Structure 1
Amino acid sequence: MGTGPAALAGRALDALSPPPRLVDWSLLAVVVLEAVTGFVSFTVGSPSGWPIFWLHRILGLTFLAFLGFKLVRVRHRLARLAEWRASTVVSVLTLLAAVGAFATGIAWVFGLDVRLAYWTLLSVHVGFGLALLPLLAWHLASRFRLPRRRDFEGRRTTLKYAALLLGGGVAYRSQELANRVLDTGGEDRRFTGSQPREGAGNGSFPVTSWVADDPDPIDRDGWTLTVAGEVETSPEYAYDELAGESGETGITGDSEEALLDCTSGWYTVQRWRGVRVGDLLETAGVRERARFVRFVSVTGYRWSLPIEEAREALLATHVGGERLSHGHGAPLRLVAPGRRGFQWVKWVHRVEVRRRDDPAQWVVTLLSGFE
C-alpha cells in the first residue's frame, strides 16, 4: 500500500465518499436544492432571509465535494477517448456546466466584477446552473441505478454527510474571512451578494430589463395612470399631476430614500420622488374586500403587493433629483423597499386594487415584452 501524498489523498477521499450510487443521486439532490434556493433567493430582499443565501452557498461547496468523488471514480473512462459514447458526451457537458456554475459563483463572491456582453458573472452563474439541472437529470437517466438499501445502512454514511455539510459551512466562512483579509470588496456587499453602485441619479446604476421588456420611450404628455378595480372611483392622472409639475395637482408629492437590490448582482441607495400609493388609494376610495394591489406595466409585466405593504410603496417619477430616464422606468416606476429589483415594476400605467393575489404574474414575467 502506497504512502505518498497521492495515496494518502486517495484514502482520505475513500473515507469521506458515500457509496457510488448515493454520490450520483446526491449530486442531483444538491443541484435541485441549489435551483430551489437560488430561485427563492431572487424574491428575498429583507435581511431576515439570509439563511436562504447561506444554504445556497454551503450546498454549492458541498456539491464540489460530491463532484470530486464522482470524477475520481470515472476519470479512467473519461481519459479513454476512443471509447466515448453519446452518454459520455452528455457526461462531459454536465461536467462543463457544473464547473462553469462553480467557477463563476466563486469568482463572484471573491469580488470579480466583470460583464460578459450584457451579463454580470452572477447572471452567467445562473445560466450555468439552469443548464446543469436538465443535463444532470439526462446523465443520470442514461445510467439509471436506484440506491440500494445497504447504501443507507450504518452510522458511517450519516457521519460522512454531516462531515461534508460541515466542511461546506467551514469553507464558506473561510471564504468570507479571505475576502476581508485580501480586501476584495466583499465587505461592501449585501447579504444577497449584490455589489454596491455609488452615486445619485439615473447614471449611477445600470439599466436592466427583465427577459424581453424593452418598450419604446413613452410620451409623457400622452401617458396617464389609471387606478381601477376594487375602488369607488377610477381616477386617471397625467404625468404633471404626479410629478408635481402642475399648478393644481390635487396630489401631495412624497419622497423616500430606498435601496434597490437587482437580481443581476448590484444594489444602489437612491432618493426617489413621486407619489405614495396610499394617497392614490385614499383618493380612489378602496372597498373593504380589497386585499392586494397590482402594478401593471405598459409591456404587460405586472406584480402584486399586499394592500398594507402597497400603501407604503412609492410610485416614482424622479430619482436622485432627476426625472426618471426611460431605461429606469419613466414615466413611473414602483419603489417597493424590501423587495428585489424585478418586483419594482417599470413603466407603470395602471394600478389595480384586487380581492385576490395574482399567481399568474410569475408566468407573465417570462412572457411580457414578447411581440
Structure 2
Amino acid sequence: MDRALPSGLVDWSLLVGVALLVGTGLASLVARPGDAWLFVVHGGAGVALVGFLGVKLWRVRARVRAGVRARSGTVALSVLLTLLAVAALASGVAWVFGATIPGPWTLLVAHAAVGVVTAVVLVVHLRDRFAPPSRADLTERRGALAWAGMVTVGAAAYRVTDALGTERRYTGSREQGSGEGNRFPVTAWVADDPDPVGADDWTLAVTGLVDEATEYGYGDLPADTAERALLDCTSGWYSDHEWTGVRVGDLLDAAGTGEDAGWVQFRSVTGYRWSLPVEEARDALLATAVDGERLSHGHGFPLRLVAPGRRGFQWVKWVREVRVTRRRDRSEWVAINVSGLGD
C-alpha cells in the first residue's frame, strides 16, 4: 500500500482530509437533527487520515531524524504539525471510547481546539511547499486503487470504533442530568457569564417590526406552557428536560407582527444574541423553570430560550429582549464570541 501511493497523492489526501475535518467540525456546531451525515463524514475522514499520516511519517522518517540533528526550523515545524495532528486524531478517538480529562473542559472541546490549531499550522507549513498534484498522481491506476482502499478501510474502521465506543448521540454528546432540574452542566460560550440578574430589576421587551412594542416584568409573563426538549451542548453533553415558560408565538401575537417579519432575535443582558426564522421562533419557548424548578442563574434566570433541534449555544440565556427583524443580523456571529469579555 505504501509503495503504491504516490507521494503527491498522500500529501493532497492529508490536506483535503484536514480541510474536510475542519469544515465538518465547524458545520457541526450549528447542525440540525437531519445533519447526522456531517458527523459520519467527520469521523470517517478522521480515521482515514490516520492511515495517510502513517504513510507520510514512514516515508519522511530519515529526513526528520536528519533535520532534528541539524536543528532545522523547517523540520521543527513539520514535527510540530505532526504532533498536533496526532493529538487531534487521538483525542477524537479517545472521546469515542469514553476518555475524559481533568479541568472545566471536556475532551471533545480539547479535540476541537487542537484541530483548529493544527489547521492553522498546516497553512503556515504549506506556505512554501504548496504544489498541485501531478496528472500522474491522479490518473495512475495502481495509486488510485490504493487510495480508494485506504479511504474504504478508514471508513470501515470508523464504523467499528463507533460501534465499540461509549453510548452517545449522533453529535458525540453523552447524557448528563436529564430530568433532574437545574442539576445538569452549566457551561458558557467563550466568556458569557454575567452577575446574577434580579427579577425585580429585569424586564422583557418585545420590539422591532411589531405593531406595538411591549414590555413585561417577571411577574407579568404568562409562563404556563410546558414542553419537553433536549439540550445538546457543543462541549459534549446532552440533557433532556421539561421546560416551563411562555411560547414565543404568544408574545408575537400579543405585539402583532407584519408580513415583513422574517427573523426573531433573542438578546441577552450580556449582548449575546441569536436569531431564528420567524416560523421556527413562534414554536420556541422562553423558559422560567426546568423540571418544575425555577431556573438557576447559571441556566439563564430569569428567562432562557428553549429552541428544540438547535445546539446549546443557540439557547440564549438571560434573555431581556425579543426583537423582530426583516433580515438576520449577521453581527450576532461576532457578538456571541465577544460578549462577556469586557466584564
Give TM class, smaller chain: over 0.9
Matched residue, 1:334: 305
Matched residue, 2:43: 57
Confirm whether residue 67 of structure 1 aligns to residue 38 of structure 2.
no
Matched residue, 1:136: 122
Counterparts in 2 of 1:147-296, with a 5 A limit?
147-179=133-165, 186-187=166-167, 189-242=168-221, 251=222, 253-296=224-267
Shift in Å, 1:322 = 0.9
Give, in whole Å, the separation in 1 of the partners of 2:225 and 2:305: 13
- Give the conservation status (yes or no) of the 8 Å contact 2:202–2:218: yes
- Give the conservation status (yes or no) of the 8 Å contact 2:223–2:288: no
Give, in whole Å, the separation in 1 of the partners of 2:190 and 2:224: 32
SS at match of 1:260: strand
- Give the conservation status (yes or no) of the 8 Å contact 1:24–1:140: no
Greater mean deviation of Cα atoms: 337-346 or 20-29: 20-29
- Could you report, residue by residue, the CA deviation over 1:123-172 in whole angstroms, capped at 9, with x for unpaired residues? 00001101100111222224344322222223333322322221121101
Q: What 5-or-longer segments of structure 2 have no aligned partner?
A: none
CA distance 1:253–1:355, shift in 2 (3 Å) = same
Q: Which of the numbers 43, 64, 75 marks the counterpart of 1:88?
A: 75
Matched residue, 1:298: 269
Shift in Å, 1:53 = 0.5
Shift in Å, 1:107 = 0.7
- Give the conservation status (yes or no) of the 8 Å contact 1:294–1:304: yes
- Give the conservation status (yes or no) of the 8 Å contact 1:78–1:84: no
SS at match of 2:231: strand
Shift in Å, 1:84 = 2.8
- Give the conservation status (yes or no) of the 8 Å contact 1:278–1:311: yes
Aligned residues between the structures:
341
Matched residue, 1:116: 102
Give, in whole Å, the separation in 1 of the partners of 2:112 and 2:158: 19
Greater mean deviation of Cα atoms: 132-141 or 301-310: 132-141
AA partner of residue 211 (structure 1):
V
SS at match of 1:204: coil
Give, in whole Å, the separation in 2 of the partners of 1:264 and 1:74: 36
Greater mean deviation of Cα atoms: 89-98 or 159-168: 159-168
Greater mean deviation of Cα atoms: 137-146 or 334-343: 137-146
AA partner of residue 46 (structure 2):
G
- Give the conservation status (yes or no) of the 8 Å contact 2:223–2:287: no
- Give the conservation status (yes or no) of the 8 Å contact 1:28–1:137: no
- Give the conservation status (yes or no) of the 8 Å contact 1:122–1:264: yes
- Give the conservation status (yes or no) of the 8 Å contact 1:233–1:285: yes
Give, in whole Å, the separation in 1 of the partners of 2:223 and 2:230: 23
- Give the conservation status (yes or no) of the 8 Å contact 1:87–1:142: no
CA distance 1:342–1:252, shift in 2 (3 Å) = closer
Give, in whole Å, the separation in 2 of the partners of 1:228 and 1:321: 29
Counterparts in 2 of 1:285-364, with a 5 A limit?
285-364=256-335
- Give the conservation status (yes or no) of the 8 Å contact 2:95–2:107: yes
SS at match of 2:274: strand
TM-score normalised by structure 1 residue count = 0.88
Give, in whole Å, the separation in 1 of the partners of 2:260 and 2:266: 18
AA partner of residue 277 (structure 1):
V
Which has the higher Rg, Structure 1 or Structure 2? Answer: 1
Matched residue, 2:3: 14
Q: Which of the numbers 16, 32, 55 marks the counterpart of 1:29?
A: 16
AA partner of residue 195 (structure 1):
R
TM-score normalised by structure 2 residue count = 0.95
Matched residue, 1:6: none
Greater mean deviation of Cα atoms: 220-229 or 320-329: 320-329
AA partner of residue 342 (structure 1):
F
- Could you report, residue by residue, the CA deviation over 1:50-95 in whole angstroms, capped at 9, with x for unpaired residues? 1110000000011111101110111112223322311111111111
SS at match of 1:13: coil
Give, in whole Å, the separation in 2 of the partners of 1:199 and 1:166: 38
Shift in Å, 1:26 = 1.9
Matched residue, 2:28: 41
- Give the conservation status (yes or no) of the 8 Å contact 1:297–1:346: yes
Matched residue, 1:9: none
